[in-house]
A and B are shown apart, each in its own frame.
Chain A
Amino acid sequence: TQTVSQSDAHVTVFEGDSVELRCNYSYGGSIYLSWYIQHHGRGLQFLLKYYSGNPVVQGVNGFEAEFSKSDSSFHLRKASVHWSDSAVYFCAVTEAYQGGRALIFGTGTTVSVSP
């Protein structure tokens, strides 16, 4: 079964702390991975993606993610969170061929940033 798993449903951090959001996938073929952010009541916005090359990819607003083929993971990190980072974060997988499955989302991780 092809899956995308985000093990943490909810994470609470203090402003200025670092945060890591975990994403694990189970796919056998060629894929690419991405992270999206959803602020309350809004649509999803793109943060970053990985297909090949350097396993550490940089995104907007200080976010970065690291791909690990051996661990089947694509974890998202930020060194110092701001209150505006409070949102739901979705990891997504796309099968890299037309007709494949497009953007299969995990269930999301809600990040709450306390002052």
Chain B
Amino acid sequence: EAAVTQSPRSKVAVTGGKVTLSCHQTNNHDYMYWYRQDTGHGLRLIHYSYVADSTEKGDIPDGYKASRPSQENFSLILELASLSQTAVYFCASSKDWGGYTGQLYFGEGSKLTVL
């Protein structure tokens, strides 16, 4: 069973603080993604990666950094958290680009509240 695990599942942060959301996959997938979910917007792509030590910008990268230290791990970093970054964040992995030959596998989500 393909597995993507996220931590923490829930976090409260203060404005201006640093937040790191972690994602670990055991699928042996090359591609990993970070999405943000807001009510009324569906999911929006923040960053993605297709190889360790390399990350790419998605549609809404401003205010976020990403790190892929290994094939299994992909982190999302908010250096200076802001109120507008309150959202649910999802990590996903896939064998190939966009799940072309299969699908994306999603984690359970990380709910971030910035106060």
Contact = CB atoms under 8 A, between A and B. Distances in A.
Interface of A: 32, 34, 36, 41-46, 49, 51, 90, 94-98, 100-108
Given A103-B35, A103-B99, A105-B43, 7 more contacts: A43-B90, A44-B43, A44-B92, A51-B100, A90-B42, A103-B104, A104-B45
B74 interface: no
B70 interface: no
Contact of A107 (B35, B40, B104): B40
A36 to B, nearest CB: 8
A52 B103 CA distance: 16
B97 interface: yes
Interface in B66-115: 90, 92, 97-100, 103-109
B42 A101 contact: no
The interface centre, meaning the residue of B58, B92, B97 with most chain A CB atoms within 10 A of its CB, is B97
A96 B104 contact: no
A46 B2 CA distance: 12
A49 B98 CA distance: 11
B50 A98 contact: yes
Contacts of B109: 41-43
B42 A94 contact: no
Contacts of B58: 102
Contacts of B59: 101, 104
Contacts of A106: 42
A95 B59 CA distance: 13
B107 A34 contact: no
B103 A107 contact: no
A102 B90 contact: no
The interface centre, meaning the residue of A36, A42, A103, A105 with most chain B CB atoms within 10 A of its CB, is A103
Nearest to B50: A98
Nearest to A90: B42
